Amino acid sequence: MDLTPYTIAVIDDSQTVRGAACAVLERAGATVLEAQDGYDGLALIVAERPQLVLLDIMMPRLDGLQLTALLQSHAELAGLPVVLVSSKDSLFDQARGKLSGAVGYLVKPFSADELLTAVGAALEPQP
């Protein structure tokens, strides 16, 4: 998958997960922006305007569900695709993610192929 034309924000409080995701996305050609929590992520998104956000759900200060809902309520950012990342894989958690406005849900730990599949699906035009 060629992600050369895309800028992707990876927002996760785990440096390990963030680093792994960034490495995969950079190898695919994406420009990757990083933040370690929701507040820093929000500032990054507003300043840099990425085409996709990969967002951990469980973070201190501002969690992924709150940030997703906040983005969806903002007129200029409402169409920004968000893929939520979580270690929780229940249907309830996935439904909460969808209700917050996310277009994808990725369960940790994930493989490079799973990450690229989720990113590719999120970048496809939504019907």
The predicted pLDDT at position 127 comes to 58
The predicted pLDDT at position 88 comes to 86
What is the pLDDT tens value at each position of the chain, 127 positions in all? 899 999 999 999 999 999 999 999 999 999 999 999 999 999 999 999 999 999 999 998 899 999 999 999 999 999 999 999 999 888 888 898 888 899 999 999 999 999 999 999 999 876 5
What is the number of helices (H) and of strands (E) in the chain?
A: 5, 5
| Calpha distance 87→9 (Å, rounded) | 19
Residue-range domains of the chain with CATH = 7-123 (3.40.50.2300)
Beta strand ranges found along the chain (DSSP E): 7-11, 31-35, 52-56, 82-86, 104-107
The predicted pLDDT at position 27 comes to 97
